[in-house]
Amino acid sequence: MLTITQALVDQIVAHARKDHPDEACGVIAGPAGSDRPERFIPMLNAAMSPTFYEFDSGDLLKLYREMDDRDEEPVVIYHSHTATEAYPSRTDISYANEPGAHYVLVSTADTDGAGEFQFRSFRIVEGEVTEEEVQVVEAY
């Protein structure tokens, strides 16, 4: 189960809506070993695409060095789908290389009134996708 604050959910959703129609992406870091998302880090979608996201390799290297210095790890890796449901694509699954992370997907397909907004979390380990419950709290 992913336990996350309402403030972090709001930041992810705001980032996804701001970058629409391109996919938004980012990381929420937390203390190593805690499974507690704390620090919101929006990233640039280097692909600048409505159907694909890609972290800039330089930005990603800088982020991992920063997390290492702060004794943090990526607790949540998030991105948006702009026209489809919030479920990992084959590409998303192939790029999922953090087995301990929660992979959060939001769908901004509702931006045009086409459907309900979705916020879902998954574990992706060795190509296996498992949806997990999301518990939104005011504070930890």
- The domain limits of the chain are 2-137
Peptide bond into 37 cis (omega under 30): no
Classified by CATH at the fold level, domain 2-137 comes out as Cytidine Deaminase; domain 2 (3.40.140)
Over the stretch 44-60, which tens digit does the pLDDT of each residue have? 999 999 999 999 999 99
- Is 26 within 8 Å of 12 (Cβ atoms)? yes
For 32-84, give the secondary structure using H, E and C.
CCCCCCCEEEEECECCCCCCCCCECHHHHHHHHHHHHHCCEEEEEEEEEECCC
* pLDDT < 50 regions, the chain: 114
Over the stretch 22-37, which tens digit does the pLDDT of each residue have? 999 999 999 999 999 9
Give the Å distances, CA to CA, from 86 to 39, 68, 79, 124. Answer: 23, 30, 9, 14
- Is 63 within 8 Å of 47 (Cβ atoms)? no
**pLDDT at residue number 49:** 95
37: closest CA among 47, 27, 52? Answer: 27
| pTM, to two decimals | 0.94
Percent above pLDDT 90 for the chain: 88
